[in-house]
Amino acid sequence: MSTPVSVIEILGPGCWRCQEAYRVVQHVVEQAGLHCHVRKNSSIARMVELGVLATPAVAFDGRVVLSGHVPKIAEIRELLGLEPGGQT
């Protein structure tokens, strides 16, 4: 399955919350069979560039879609358009 998102970044300093956010996103991508790259990024410069004020943050192709909490599986699925809204 393909998705219009080609790169998903997990932005944060590498704390357990950032690692868990990466794990959740990677799980959704693998389970859905999506063809996109999931990357961890701990660069402060990149976070400033994207305007991230709270971590962990998740960005789709350079656009921050959530920040400040570890996402739930359903939340990531919804953001990727894999399931209808309202189920976070």
| 36 among known catalytic residues | no
d(C-alpha 87, C-alpha 73), whole Å: 10
| 15 among known catalytic residues | yes
d(C-alpha 43, C-alpha 45), whole Å: 5
Q: Which of 11, 18, 28, 38 is catalytic?
A: 18
Distance of alpha carbon 25 from its chain centroid, rounded?
6
Q: Which of 15, 44, 48, 53 is catalytic?
A: 15
Q: Which residues are catalytic?
A: 15, 18
